[in-house]
Amino acid sequence: MNFELTEEQQSVKKVVRKFVDKEIIPYIQEWDRQGQFQPHILKRLAELQLMGVCIPEEYGGVGMDYNTLAIVCEELERGDTAYRTAVSVHTGLNSMTLLQWGTEEQKRKYLVPQAKGTKIGAFGLTEPNAGSDVAAMKSTARRVGDHYILNGSKTWISLCDYADHFLIFAKTDHDLGSKGITAFIVERTFEGVESKAIKGKLGIRAGNTGEVFLTDVKVPAANRLGEEGEGFKISMSALDSGRFTVAAGAVGLIEASLEASLKYCHERSTFGKEIGRHQLVQQMIAKMTANLEISRLLVFKAGTLKNQGKRNTKETSLAKWISCNAANEAANDAVQIHGAYGYSDEYPVERFLRNSKAPVIYEGTREIHTMMQGEYALGYRQDKELRKKLPAWPFEKASVH
């Protein structure tokens, strides 16, 4: 085991941190206050080659390992959850799923521009009545000749108003439950695709999240991802990548909470001494410090398994559960350490607390992951090999061009 970052990883970490400190942190308070998403940040991320950091070079990416993606997400979330979320959805949920399941033609047409950041990808699984219970989805896809006709709606879709390509999951056979779900690549320009942002969110207010409506959308059969009825497996493998990036982001939020708390502990004095001298404050700082290390190690363990081409559903679930819980606790403690000032947006910790709640819910609630880990431990849950694997790193050249 090697716990040291490579020179390449250290370089990426420095680049992202410099970008966040210069181009996100000075402005995020106002963007959050106004509920404004800034699409120019996506363009800057593309210029820095961060939208396809772990996508092979032959498909437009940089070709770095999966833990480098974790580093990017960790550093972005130090700035704000909104822009880590953008990378999680674009790279983790969409691009990595295309890399794993797409045909060569689909990769050339859709993955290459996404990896370069010239096109943006999103992910449409959740519906108004289908969250954790994916099989309850109502969206339909009906085969007509060489096309499918899609109808339905998706909700809580990040980048809904800015994505060029959506991975959409719909039922091709209602009688088969989860085995009747199929995945499709849907372009925003297809007739019948509309989106609408959701306002009034508790947190991640600087992010773009909303609904996607599909009305008689004609999708070429060539845009079906995988086989008919394979959509549930594809969606779950996509979540292995998405949850990995969410867990990595949570590490960044713990670090941001710790950094803000340490700074305030040295600035604020009560009862004749810095508040950091009080033991119960030290207890909160110690818990943040421990959870930062624990969460980062869990994330890197999952990333190492990805690098090796091994199934990592169990390890990714654990990393997501533990790190997101820890981030929520760290942000809550950071508010407590700041006292009354923690309740004001004069300091960033109230935003950290609001932002930290969503990841405890999305991509598998805390309760879903708790149940999964219990089932793994008891031997009730086992992961079977998938028909297509996420490629191991270092990447090999595809044999078909």
Following DSSP, what letter does each residue of 204-246 receive, concatenated? -TTS-EEEEEEEEEEEEGGGEESSTT-HHHHHHHHHHHHHHHH
Nearest to 388 by CA among 102, 129, 21: 102
Tell me how crowded residue 394 is: count the other CB atoms within 10 A of its CB.
Answer: 10
Q: Is the dihedral of CA 178, 181, 183, 187 positive or negative?
A: negative
Contact 171, 139 (CB under 8 A): yes
| Alpha carbons within 13 A on the beta-carbon side of 237 | 29
Q: Please indicate whether residue 363 is annotated as part of the active site.
A: yes
Which residues, at least 6 apart from 359, have a Cβ–Cβ distance to it below 8 Å? Answer: 81, 246, 249, 250, 320, 324, 327, 328
CA–CA distance, 299 with 290 (Å, rounded to integer): 14
Nearest to 120 by CA among 219, 208, 51, 220: 51
Following DSSP, what letter does each residue of 37-106 receive, concatenated? --HHHHHHHHHTT-TTTTS-GGGTS----HHHHHHHHHHHHHH-HHHHHHHIIIIIIIIHHHHHH--HHH
Contact 253, 333 (CB under 8 A): no
Q: Which residues pair with 106 in a beta bridge?
A: none
Contact 297, 318 (CB under 8 A): no
CA–CA distance, 287 with 295 (Å, rounded to integer): 12
Rg of the Cα atoms in the chain: 21
Nearest to 124 by CA among 172, 81, 74, 168: 168
CA–CA distance, 63 with 49 (Å, rounded to integer): 10
Q: Which of 211, 230, 350, 363 is catalytic?
A: 363
Catalytic residue ranges: 363
